[in-house]
Structure 1
Amino acid sequence: MNFAELTRYRKTQVDARAREIQRLEKVLQDAGIKLTSVASAVWSASSREIIEALIAGERDPAVLAQMAKSRMRAKIPQLEEALYGHFGAHHAFVAKQIIDHIDYLDSAIGALTQEICERLLPFEPAVALVASIPGISTITAQVIIAETGGDMSRFPTAEHLCAWAGLAPASYESAGKRKPAGTRHGSTS
């Protein structure tokens, strides 16, 4: 598996993790638990502890709300109200499966990231240079280096690289008039 395949597979695992978190939120909503109306995210340390307590059988909103950590502690009254619901055994079973799958995906993403970092060690200066561009994280820089192979000499100009990546807008010219055509889809390699 080359660098690009590793970074692409990591992306699929990150996307799968995001879908599982959305699925967990849907299970909670189905049970009448409105955790995200108080918490900024359904997948935080406080939220996970509350969900695991729900899975273990705790249903008292006052007890569950006391599990809040840091900034969520200021919202305990709203949290109690949000935790009234009808979380049943079937919700607990599905939520447990989802949490187990998220944990597996976290482990897989960590292993993939470690492998990518090890394989990109020879390209570390290039990754650092690309990551120094405002708005580009180290992970995005890794993907750029993996997709281009780190050899920019095959692109005569920056415009050629942008066109290859699908970032350069296409234009059509007819009778001396240029018409914008949006951006192309980029390289399929």
Structure 2
Amino acid sequence: MESTGIYWKSPYAALEAAGIRATVVNARHVKQVPGRKTDVGDAQWLATLARAGLLRGSFVPPAKLRELRLIARQRQKLVGLLSSEKNRMHKVLTDAGIRLGVVVSDIHGQSARAMIKCLLAGQPPEEVLKLASRRLKASREELHDALQGELTGSHVFVLDELLRHIEGLEAGIARFDAHLLGELASEMNALALLQTLPGVDVIGAAMLLVEIGSDMSAFGSPDRLASWVGVCPGNNESAGKRKSGRVRKGNLYVRRLLCEFAHAASRTKSAFQSKFQSLIIRRGYKRAIVALAHKMLRTIFFMLKRGEHYRDSATNYEQLSVQRNASRWIKALTRFGFIPAAA
């Protein structure tokens, strides 16, 4: 059959339940055939190519991971919606003349959110300042000037509704996280392995594992995995001339996760940071991030295949930990009598 979007999933699940293993192939394999572009013609041509053994099946994860994909992808949608609502709230505050975002790095932090709630309750700036944390770098005068605005009734209504929606989305994301990690309890070893990679946290590891699974034999090689995700350079050459090598679409959810990992890893003391710094000068920021995502995906492939944690080639994390904590450890050992105090 020929289908688009998600319409293949129900027949595939029905065939799988009946013990029939169907093959899902990429439409790119038949898309370039001229004169056959109808639904019936596509289905016939697919059947002909399948009988000749000219089609290679795409990766389809097990049923459990396919179900967890619904949870992980809905969580990504909620995170995107949460970011949009936070930006909208910042815009409404600025419209009211409240420039809290200028003096506070995150207006949705604990201290800033408490001040916003106090403002919406009709309290004067002097009372709002009492809720400001002492850890804020801005002075009291700067905070007081930033809170001088004119909140109308419409501003208060919109901000109150936005704040309720934001807190509801945050609670929903927390429920998604708890459910996703609970369902992946049997994959705790793989989750622990992925978290040793710079820039990967437990939720990021869980969402990546749901998309690609922990069995790397389904892909065979890191090149195929990178091609399936869509982070490897394109191969487009004709008559000795190399044309555009832009990446293909691939799995957009995995590519988004890998780019987030790459952004975080580029700021850590690791081999990924030096790779990023060498690429950004020649290729630019965006291309450097995609290249770093490609490198991280290849590393993840071998980590999951071999069952080994990440070992950085440029940084000794054990030595780095000792350098950061040695003085504190020595003081604690001295205080509890494990090391004699100096005379």
* Cα distance, 1:154 vs structure 2: 1.1
- DSSP-derived class of the 1:72 partner: coil
Given candidates 42, 46, 55, the residue that maps to 2:120 is: 55
Any stretches of 5+ residues in structure 1 without a counterpart? Answer: none
- 1:107 corresponding residue in structure 2: 171
* Cα distance, 1:117 vs structure 2: 0.3
The letter for the 1-side match of 2:168 is Y
Q: Confirm whether residue 24 of structure 1 aligns to residue 89 of structure 2.
A: yes
In 2: Cα distance, 1:73 partner to 1:65 partner: 14
- DSSP-derived class of the 1:33 partner: coil
8 A contact 1:46–1:69 mirrored in 2: yes
The letter for the 1-side match of 2:130 is Q
8 A contact 1:169–1:180 mirrored in 2: no
1:80-159 alignment to 2 at 5 Å? 80-159=144-223
Higher relative contact order (CA 8 A, sep 6+): 1
In 2: Cα distance, 1:152 partner to 1:108 partner: 32
Q: Deviations over 1:99-141 (max 9, x none)?
A: 1111111111011001100111111111222222222222222
* Cα distance, 1:180 vs structure 2: 4.4
Give the total of aligned pairs: 188
The letter for the 2-side match of 1:34 is R
In 2: Cα distance, 1:99 partner to 1:7 partner: 24
In 1: Cα distance, 2:104 partner to 2:232 partner: 40
Given candidates 62, 65, 69, the residue that maps to 1:4 is: 69
In 2: Cα distance, 1:66 partner to 1:73 partner: 15
8 A contact 1:171–1:181 mirrored in 2: yes
Q: CA RMSD in A?
A: 1.8
- 2:226 corresponding residue in structure 1: 162
* Cα distance, 1:73 vs structure 2: 7.0
In 1: Cα distance, 2:146 partner to 2:220 partner: 58
The letter for the 1-side match of 2:139 is K
The letter for the 2-side match of 1:165 is V
**TM-score normalized by structure 1?**
0.91
The letter for the 1-side match of 2:151 is F
Given candidates 42, 50, 53, the residue that maps to 2:107 is: 42
The letter for the 1-side match of 2:186 is P
In 2: Cα distance, 1:169 partner to 1:143 partner: 24
After alignment, is 148-157 or 67-76 more displaced? Answer: 67-76
- 1:76 corresponding residue in structure 2: 140
The letter for the 2-side match of 1:121 is A
Work out the percentage of aligned pairs sharing the same amino acid. 34
Larger Rg: 2
8 A contact 1:167–1:184 mirrored in 2: yes
8 A contact 2:231–2:247 mirrored in 1: yes
